């Protein structure tokens, strides 16, 4: 691997969890950069609820399933695979996904996405969906998490029947990784990376009171996370457009290319 890459030799700190962190690590290692893991949130399957039972029992009554994250796909199918339904519902429903990566995840279940968002974020997805699906009164199922943007449901409700169902939960870790904390304290890192407002809020809650730095080198995905950072008085050095890990690495490369010139 050539050391001409602007990310070569740099060290980043990841606050995301599981497959996203693994994807980020693989991409950065290809560019000779290092990634230190400091997960501040974790994702778990939701407990069974009346809403989930309704989803399982009445899946064929919906017109669309609206996926705003990879987690919503994963846990939706985990719950649906627990039922004895005929697989015909997969052919009867239409499916909307938030981007190319979620489209790929959906295809792994043998399902073609009928709508693929071209914007950044779940709210833009809802806006674009309403422009494309002009016939009103559709029944839309939204498998979602406990911290999902409720504005999505509110917007879709203007034209359709909407049923959000919590299929996963985002939980906060209460003990940060000591090695990562030591590196941040020493300043021997290039950027701390946030993929969600919840990860940043937990950073403020459990890390900042220990570190008490006036400045951190921060990068993030999406305007919602950027606003959370700004509201705390910090300025992110990069804000990727909300299109996933690949987009984040692209913005990192672009940022450090400019630093070197």
Do 17 and 124 fall within a single domain? no
Do 142 and 102 fall within a single domain? yes
Q: Among 184, 167, 176, which residue's Cα sits nearest to residue 203?
A: 176
Do 77 and 135 fall within a single domain? yes
Work out whether the CA dihedral 97, 101, 102, 103 comes out positive or negative.
positive
Q: Is 196 helix (H, G, I), strand (E, B) or coil?
A: coil
Cβ(253)–Cβ(229) under 8 Å?
no
Q: Which of 141, 170, 199 represents a domain boundary (last residue)?
A: 170
Residue 58 neighbours by CB under 8 Å, 6+ apart: none
Decide if 100 is inside a domain. Answer: yes
Decide if 124 is inside a domain. Answer: yes
* Vertex 181 angle, CA 180 and 186, to 5°: 100
Task: Give the Cα separation of 211 and 209 in Å (integer).
Answer: 6
Q: How many domains does the chain have?
A: 2
List Cα–Cα distances, 61 to 56, 58, 161, in angstroms. Answer: 10, 5, 11
Q: Is 164 helix (H, G, I), strand (E, B) or coil?
A: strand
What average pLDDT does the segment 20-38 reach? Answer: 93
Do 23 and 50 fall within a single domain? no
Decide if 4 is inside a domain. Answer: no
Residue 230 neighbours by CB under 8 Å, 6+ apart: 236
The whole-number pLDDT of residue 205 equals 96
The mean pLDDT value of the chain amounts to 92
List Cα–Cα distances, 154 to 8, 95, 142, 160, in angstroms. Answer: 44, 19, 12, 10
Cβ(61)–Cβ(139) under 8 Å?
yes
Tokens read off for 129: 């969906």
CATH code (residue 137): 3.40.50.10090
Percent share of the chain, pLDDT over 90: 81
Do 81 and 147 fall within a single domain? yes
pTM: 0.85
Read off the pLDDT of residues 45-83 as tens digits, 9 standing for 90 and up: 999 999 999 999 999 999 999 999 999 999 999 999 988
């Amino acid at each position: 691997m050539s050391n001409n890459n602007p990310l070569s030799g740099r060290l980043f700190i990841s606050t995301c969890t599981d497959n996203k962190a693994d994807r980020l690590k693989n991409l950065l290692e290809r560019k000779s950069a290092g990634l230190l893991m400091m997960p501040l949130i974790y994702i778990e399957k939701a407990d069974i609820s009346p809403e989930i039972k309704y989803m399982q029992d009445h899946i064929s009554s919906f017109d669309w399933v609206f996926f705003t994250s990879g987690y919503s796909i994963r846990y939706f199918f985990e719950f649906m695979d627990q039922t004895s339904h005929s697989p015909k519902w997969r052919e009867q429903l239409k499916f909307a996904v938030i981007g190319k990566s979620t489209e790929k995840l959906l295809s792994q279940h043998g399902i073609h996405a009928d709508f693929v968002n071209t914007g950044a974020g779940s709210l833009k997805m809802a806006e674009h969906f309403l422009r494309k699906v002009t016939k009103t009164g559709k029944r839309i199922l939204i498998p979602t998490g406990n911290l999902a943007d409720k504005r999505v449901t509110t917007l879709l409700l203007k034209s359709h029947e909407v049923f959000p169902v919590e299929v996963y939960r985002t939980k906060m870790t209460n003990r940060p990784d000591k090695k990562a904390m030591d590196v941040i304290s020493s300043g021997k890192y290039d950027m701390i990376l946030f993929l969600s407002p919840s990860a940043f809020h937990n950073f403020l809650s459990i890390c900042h009171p220990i570190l008490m730095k006036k400045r951190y080198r921060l990068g993030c995905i999406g305007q919602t996370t950027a606003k959370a950072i700004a509201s705390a008085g910090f300025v992110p050095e990069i804000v990727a457009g909300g299109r996933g890990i690949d987009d984040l690495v692209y913005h990192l490369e672009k940022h450090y290319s400019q630093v070197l010139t």
